[in-house]
Amino acid sequence: MMKRIAVFTSGGDSPGMNACIRAVVRTAVYHGIEVYGIMRGYKGMIKGEIVKLDSASVSNTVQKGGTLLKSARSQTFMTKEGRQQAFDQLSNHKIDGLVAIGGNGTFTGAMLFEQEFGIPTVGAPGTIDNDLYGTDYTIGYDTAVNTALEAIDKIRDTADSHDRCFFIEVMGRDSGYIAIPCAIGGGAEIVMIPETQMSTEAVIDTLRTGWKRSKTSFIVIVAEGDEENNATTVAAKVKEAIPELDTRVTIIGHVQRGGSPTAADRLLGSQIGIAAVEGLMNGMHNVMAGIVDRKLVYTPFHETIYKKKLINQSFMRMVEILSV
């Protein structure tokens, strides 16, 4: 029987985290469970930055970006001594279960923590990268794509006006999930992602072919984790090979993490927040709540962390066809 639970956010922030926190708090209140917020993730857990929350604590937050609980990374938690300190703090507050909002690193810590100390944890997938196995979409992904796409639309206007080739770098250290919809929706000629091998030479060949067809402006989307390195490196090699091409580089960067969440992310965050609390109530632990084929599923942390979420290769073909 859950009497007291705590919720925290860890790792990179993502739009919709506040919607998830709000849902966790109000679901707990609805079921008569005391709920606490842990400030600054595992770092705050170790320091005992744990505050009581109620329904009013999360009023007027569903539309806000970032995370009201703050976020931080903690090297100390990666040690046995650090996890012992965190457990002692939770024990002092008589916490029975945890809701962890974050990504792979967050769930890795939660899995290890439960194995050692037995406090059940249910995860909520909060990351803009959409790279977690066990859910079709992660909280913040839809907003990040739309933020990047808005910037790409504006850059395309300049590319067209000045007959330029823009190399646009979007986030995605290990995943092309942001890059691909941006390429398709933004009308890009080329997309470079970590999951597929596209050499700089292939990019040069494609751009040279387009140039010979009198095409004068280009958009190349590069995920930051592409095997050919970042957009700046690729652009320099292309400029060397095709000096007549007027090239520019834009790195969209952390603006993709911020801003008011879209309706989709508010809905997803709310669904997952409710599912996380009710999962704890039903005895679930060491699992992530997610939505697959519009159905709620709970995936073991071990699978979420270690199984690869594959890119739909038909999307790469779409980019090739639509760029003709």
**Active site amino acids:** 129
Return the percent helix, strand and coil in the chain, to nearest 5: 45, 20, 35
Residue 179 dihedral angles phi and psi, to the nearest 5°: -60, -45
| Ramachandran region, residue 3 (left: φ > 0; alpha: ψ -120 to 50; beta: rest) | alpha
Strand partners of residue 35: 5, 53
Q: What is the DSSP string of 268-294?
A: HHHHHHHHHHHHHHTT--SEEEEEETT
290 forms beta bridges with: 297
Which residues are within 8 A (CB) of 121 and not within 5 positions of it... i.e. 6 or more apart?
Answer: 97, 98, 99, 100, 110, 111, 113, 114, 285, 286
Provide the angle, in degrees to the nearest 10, between the axes of the packed helices 231-241 and 200-212.
50
- Residues 320 and 324: their CA atoms lie apart, in Å, by 7
Q: What secondary structure letter does DSSP report for 253?
A: G
Does an H or E element contain 264, and which?
Answer: helix 263-281
Give phi and psi for 44, each to the nearest 5.
-70, -30
Q: Closest Cα to residue 226, out of 200, 252, 251?
A: 200
